[in-house]
Amino acid sequence: MLLLIFILSIFSCKEKEKRQNVVFILVDDLGWTDLGYSGSTFYETPHIDALSNTSIQFTDAYASASICSPTRASILTGKHPAHINITDWIPGDDNQDMRLLGPQDLHELPLHETTFAEVLKSNGYSTFFAGKWHIGDEGFLPDNQGFDVNLGGYHMGQPPGGYYSPYKNPYLTDGPKNEFLTDRLTDESIKFLDTIQDKPFLLYVSYYTVHTPIQANKRHVTRFREKLKTMDSLVTTEKREGHAITRVVQNNPEYASMVYALDENVGRLIDKLKKEGLYDNTTIIFTSDNGGLTTIKEGLNYQKPTAVHPLRAGKGWLYEGGVRVPLLIKPAYYKAGGRVVSEPVISHDFFPTILTQTQVALNPSLQIDGVDLSPLFTENSLDRKDIFWHYPHYHASGWTPGAAIRQGDWKLIEFYEANTVELYNLSDDISETHNLALQNPEKVKTLRKRLRDLQEAVNANKATINSAFKEVP
């Protein structure tokens, strides 16, 4: 018996000595309340909910930006978007007839930037990318930034052929008729797992879903059309946000079917990891690149398919609805169950966290802005004072150039065009409805100065006055 225990203990040690794998699941435009575990009663996500019960749930997780390209660059590099000078979606609107002119930022992630894929690859990892890229075209694609394989990633921010084959994507061959893009990206990810043998791996699946165009998953949409008939409210409820309109009720069955298909595919991927004996030894990160698409400038004929109530506004805005996102992290060999963490964290924290989890040393010459989240796997706080956002551009959501900072429960938002500030205490006002700026002038002064210091530290670009602007009577 003692010999058997000794043998088993050796086997257990050898298991833990295996180099840990990483599965990074990035969803496009997934809102904070778009999942069952995070509050949705219309959408259904049983597999992601199950993952939440075996992961660390971050209630106050933020995207590095309220739009996609800056966040995607930050995830890969560990840098704030302003530090990279990618501060708008690529290529952006560059509207020339507004009161301010947005700065000229980059349209691709520079090759001199170091991605965590490059770091892992140089340390013997197989690296695989499937899905949306949107931070560069030819010469700046995933296979130029540390990934051995790129399937479907290029400069487009949405699937050019839609969600059904033919995809019209030069980096993804067409599938059979009625093949759904989310299914296909998961199929390719599963095929990759069949090739790894004993090498550690990084699997980065960046789903195009649930970005527009909203196209129902044909296998699931009837389920949600029928469910909608049982709901109390069948009418879309909206509210005004400045010169924009925000959707505040989740009742779009086509969108719901896309979320359900996403969940189904996350389940398939996790089942494959378990079947191959890879699940325990793999750190899984599941998150979104920005808030849900809820808010569109009045008069624009764009879809706003979801709602993130009680958060204010959505994608494009620096209110909570635009930047607060779902985040689950299941560390390798994690056995503690569904731990809930309320410490604010942000997308550029993933780079140092992944290196810590894989026990790969961070090159001290790399300048990163994120912090390692590993202490939060067992503790409740980080040694970080604040986080900030920098979005000096206009957006179709109705957002005008500005910036924001969160320090503790306090959040300050600056609007450059009107030269105004708003101050909220998120501990009792998560919906950001009570502007406390006038009652707290010293807090406003302190936070504005801190925001300026943070912007200067990363050499943040700036909006400028448009000398050609003419006021419309």
Kindly report, residue by residue over 256-272, the tens digit of the pLDDT: 999 999 999 999 999 99
Let me know the angle formed at the C-alpha of 377 by 371 and 378, rounded to the nearest 5 degrees.
120
Residues 75-102: what's their mean pLDDT?
95
Query: Given this model, what pLDDT does residue 1 score?
Result: 39
Mean per-residue pLDDT of the chain? 94
Structural domains of the chain, with CATH: 20-383 (3.40.720.10)
Distances (CA, A) of 80 to 62, 140, 175, 449: 12, 19, 37, 18
pLDDT in tens, 300-325: 989 999 999 999 999 999 999 999 99
Query: Given this model, what pLDDT does residue 288 score?
Result: 98
Stretch (H or E) spanning 403: strand 402-407
pLDDT in tens, 115-131: 999 999 999 999 999 99
Per-residue pLDDT at 368 exceeds 80: yes
pLDDT in tens, 12-46: 444 446 889 999 999 999 999 999 999 999 999 99
Residues 193-220: what's their mean pLDDT?
97
Extract the tokens encoding 153. Answer: 């990633």
Per-residue pLDDT at 8 exceeds 60: no
Q: Which of 363, 351, 364 is nearest to 117 (CA)?
A: 351
Query: Given this model, what pLDDT does residue 473 score?
Result: 65
Query: Given this model, what pLDDT does residue 63 score?
Result: 98
Per-residue pLDDT at 207 exceeds 50: yes
Query: Given this model, what pLDDT does residue 338 score?
Result: 83
Angle between helices 68-77 and 350-357 (to 10 degrees): 30
Query: Given this model, what pLDDT does residue 343 score?
Result: 97
Distances (CA, A) of 278 to 10, 358, 359, 429: 19, 14, 17, 42
pLDDT category at 380 given cuts 50, 70, 90 is confident
Comparing 233-237, 283-287, 416-420, which segment has the lowest mean pLDDT? 233-237
What percent of the chain lies above the pLDDT cut of 90? 89
pLDDT category at 233 given cuts 50, 70, 90 is low
Per-residue pLDDT at 448 exceeds 90: yes
